[in-house]
Structure 1
Amino acid sequence: MRSLADRSVRPAPTAAADLTLRRGAARVLLDNWTGASTVPSRTLYPHQWSWDSAFVAVGLRHLSVRRAQRELESLLAGQWADGRIPHIVFNPGVPHDAYFPSPDFWQSSRVGRRAGAPSAPETSGIVQPPVHALAAWLVHRADPAESRRRGFLPRVLPRLTAWHDYLLTHRDLGGAGLAAVVHPWEPGMDNSPCWDKALSRVEPAPPGTFRRADLHHGHPADRPTDLDYGRYVQLAVGYREAGYDDRGARHGFAVEDPCFNALLIVSELALAAMARELGGTGEPHTARAGALTRQLVARLWDDTAGLFRVRDLRTGALVAERAVTGLVPLVVPHLPPDVVRRLHATLDGPHFRAPATRLVPSYDLTGPAFDAQRYWRGPAWFNTAWLIHRGLRTHGLTESAGRLRRGFLTQAGRSDFAEYVDPVAGEGRGTRHFSWTAALTLDLLCADGEEAGP
């Protein structure tokens, strides 16, 4: 196999600046490769994260389709028998004190045995957004001949189907057909103000019972507060003590998240495309995507606000916060036209228009909890920008998509592939040389114009 730096399955960009950016992004992915997968960051996140690896595979396909496939396959090696893909697959070579919560906190191979956790590798017990099938389909399309030669789709399709089956059965906690998340880490937007009210009902773990390794490499002003972190720990402890049994656990936190369910819809459509590629009809997955889309609109769309809301399943109420999770459903292909129009207007309105960066803040710029620096409480993230860019293209909003793409590439280069940026000042925040930022930069530089949908 050619080296990661040599091989490209798309024509290289011709502009000198794009070529420099492409080489920088490729170097980040080379440096963060462990031999089996890619860590999000060598310092702050030293294991394999679930939706990070999906985004990484999307970018890696432009450098090495083989390695992009391996990225997803190594993640799927940690899948549980009940279908869940855990949010962390731990590297046994990394010391336990390098990251918290560590394998000895989650105890997956022992406590999760009844729920189907593997004996190895050790994993966490919670999940992250289901973007994996979309990533797998894009990896296949990058080099279909190589994919067929290695039997990539026949190997991953059953696993990804089981993953979606888990979400649509075990996690339909609201009984309306949408998947619920049971921890703020699961929707991937860990510290969003959307979780504040639900989290306020959770008694935090005492400060002396856990150790925050994230503060060794991240500035406290960028990270969740100790109070919120104590609540995250307490929720994880309660889920662990219930044996990671979704129906048996008493969930102190349970919400239906728009971004999580939108990605499930798009990935169902990707599963349908995979099934057709393998000679099937894909109809069951297309039907599930349609049903999910209808429920997403019926349960989470707020027509007055012009975006999707989070639903708190403990109270049944929609959460009165505007956040980027409510805009990501633009990625869903078959939304009602008026919903698309309103989302587009909201994206370009005072709550989310950040002229300094052209990216999309993670939380309402005018909201009471806005913080331009603190994790998911205002900073603009590159993965959500990529998803919204894809949604804009899906619905033919090419001018807006072009502006967002230019802002993305400018900020990725200026910030040295930062984890996220201050949407007001444009300053890079969090860790640098962040893998999904580099990977999605590659995708925006290299992807062709035919990939707006599965």
Structure 2
Amino acid sequence: MTSPVSADLAAAAVAVLNKNWAGSHTLPATGLYPHQWSWDSGFIALGLRHIDADRAQQELESLLNGQWEDGRLPQIIYDVTRDDDYSPGASFWKSTDHPDAPIVPTTGLIQPPNHAWAAWEVHRINPDASTRNGFLNRVYPNLVAWHEYLGTRRDRGGRGLASVVHPWESGMDNSPLWDEALARVPDTPKHEIRRPDLQHADAAERPSAKEYGRFFWLAEQYRDHGCDDLLGEDSFVLEDPAFNALWARSELALADIARSIGKDPMPHEARAQLLTEALETLFDSELGLYTARDVNIGALVRKATISGIIPLILPQLRQAESVLGTLMGPGFLGDGPYMVPSYDLRAEDFEPAQYWRGPAWFNMTWLVIFGLRVQGAHEQEAQRLAANLQQLALEHGFPEYIDPVTGAPHGTRNFSWTAALSLDLLRAEQAPGTD
């Protein structure tokens, strides 16, 4: 029987997803994020699949409408009627002037590739609706092209891993992983920096003006050389473990999709294996987790962040035992925080309310729960995290992130992936055969 709390959570989560629905896709949040974001739509589809299979499919297909000819899926697809509500907007990127870009305005940057994984999960929960719409057959070629883009244009380190050329591409904008590389970047862009985000969130919770200066400078550099990944002129080039783990997980999903529609799954399985093996070059034995590699200087970044724990989502991960030890240790879950912090709790520059410099994010905790179950480890902890995630989401109006120690909410509210992923965990618990 569904408990009153579960019923309240389900109803409230669905209300958020309905409120943020823009007709063809879901906004991350109506005020702070007025466009369609790439990896947000992947996470959002995981919740939508439980309430409306057609809408979950449309969420992902609307994103594919913004795909470039070179295969990239852009970080943002813009609603030009809201161009003044987010910076940088479509007028900054001028993507429709680019010969490879679609007719809809987008950024030139990308975000982590969770889309094939989401597409497979959308199909898997309701194969009848998927088959009726020809969903997998339609999205498979686009998803293959997206992964080929990563493999051919973003292997900047030459080791099989994709590189990000801007902190925004990691999804973890001001993570401590980027500090050293950003310190080499000017904070004096030509473009006037507007901060409409500060109308919706406290300045203490957002990246600083100096960080934004560097973000804009890098965006200008990438835009001004035509978003060309093969020129090798980018000042910021890093291999991020979470980005590549999500790519590998999505390759496994592409193998499932291929098998389902009569295609050969072997190339996708092989690439997933190669990515998993290549991730080992990012393992730091002293930190006990994976970390980013700065391609421009050829060195690992010695910072213990949530990104280095996300590879647990991959089966046959060679260093899984070490990473599990770090996760369950004092830097992350050892002292029982409500959710997984985005940065080592013991770090001198840990900040519990400052975006990716300490707070716990709902999508990251969802991934860690998934990773614990892939590894067949610490199920009691996975259940505790899942219960806390759902409780805090409902209690605080689906916040963007929380203080991991106190549970205090931060960022915007009515955040779509918070609603979607809390709903996904709830429905998984209610599925037949679960406790």
- Equivalenced residues, count: 431
Q: CA deviation at 1:261?
A: 0.2
Q: CA deviation at 1:208?
A: 7.3
Q: Which amino acid aligns with 1:306?
A: G
Q: What's the secondary structure of 1:93's corresponding residue?
A: helix
- Separation in structure 2 between the aligned mates of residue 129 and residue 243 of structure 1, nearest angstrom: 21
Aligned to 2:402: 421
Aligned to 1:444: 425
Aligned to 1:395: 375
Matching of residue 228 in structure 1 with residue 211 in structure 2: yes
Aligned to 1:289: 272
Aligned to 1:373: 353
Q: Which of 252, 255, 258 lines up with 2:241 in the alignment? A: 258
- Separation in structure 1 between the aligned mates of residue 309 and residue 127 of structure 2, nearest angstrom: 32
Matching of residue 304 in structure 1 with residue 286 in structure 2: yes
Aligned to 2:2: 14
- Separation in structure 1 between the aligned mates of residue 116 and residue 30 of structure 2, nearest angstrom: 26
Q: Is the 8 A contact 1:36 1:74 kept in 2?
A: yes
Matching of residue 117 in structure 1 with residue 101 in structure 2: yes
Q: Deviations over 1:328-382 (max 9, x none)?
A: 110011212xx22211111111111275643111111111221111110000000
- Separation in structure 2 between the aligned mates of residue 160 and residue 280 of structure 1, nearest angstrom: 14
Matching of residue 131 in structure 1 with residue 114 in structure 2: yes
- Separation in structure 1 between the aligned mates of residue 9 and residue 357 of structure 2, nearest angstrom: 28
Q: Is the 8 A contact 1:380 1:423 kept in 2?
A: yes
Aligned to 2:298: 316
Q: What's the secondary structure of 2:340's corresponding residue?
A: coil
Matches within 5 A, 1:4-403: 14-94=2-82, 96-110=83-97, 112-113=98-99, 116-118=100-102, 120-206=103-189, 209-297=192-280, 299-336=281-318, 339-353=319-333, 355=335, 357-397=337-377, 398-403=379-384
Identity of aligned residues (%): 50
- Separation in structure 2 between the aligned mates of residue 249 and residue 370 of structure 1, nearest angstrom: 33
Q: Is the 8 A contact 1:48 1:89 kept in 2?
A: yes
Q: CA deviation at 1:206?
A: 4.7
Q: Is the 8 A contact 1:109 1:117 kept in 2?
A: yes
- Separation in structure 1 between the aligned mates of residue 156 and residue 110 of structure 2, nearest angstrom: 15
Aligned to 1:8: none
RMSD: 1.5
Distance 1:143 1:448, change over 3 A: farther
Q: CA deviation at 1:209?
A: 2.1
Question: Which consecutive unaligned segments of at least 5 residues does structure 1 have?
Answer: 1-12
Q: Is the 8 A contact 1:359 1:385 kept in 2?
A: yes
- Separation in structure 1 between the aligned mates of residue 195 and residue 154 of structure 2, nearest angstrom: 29
- Separation in structure 1 between the aligned mates of residue 53 and residue 181 of structure 2, nearest angstrom: 42
Q: Deviations over 1:211-264 (max 9, x none)?
A: 111111111000001001000000000000000000125111000000000000
Q: CA deviation at 1:280?
A: 2.4
Distance 1:425 1:207, change over 3 A: farther
- Separation in structure 1 between the aligned mates of residue 430 and residue 392 of structure 2, nearest angstrom: 22
Matching of residue 434 in structure 1 with residue 421 in structure 2: no
Q: Where has structure 1 moved over 4 Å in runs of 4 or more?
A: 354-357, 448-451
Q: Is the 8 A contact 1:361 1:381 kept in 2?
A: yes
Distance 1:62 1:450, change over 3 A: closer
TM-score, structure 2 length as denominator? 0.97
Distance 1:175 1:445, change over 3 A: same
Question: Which consecutive unaligned segments of at least 5 residues does structure 2 have?
Answer: none
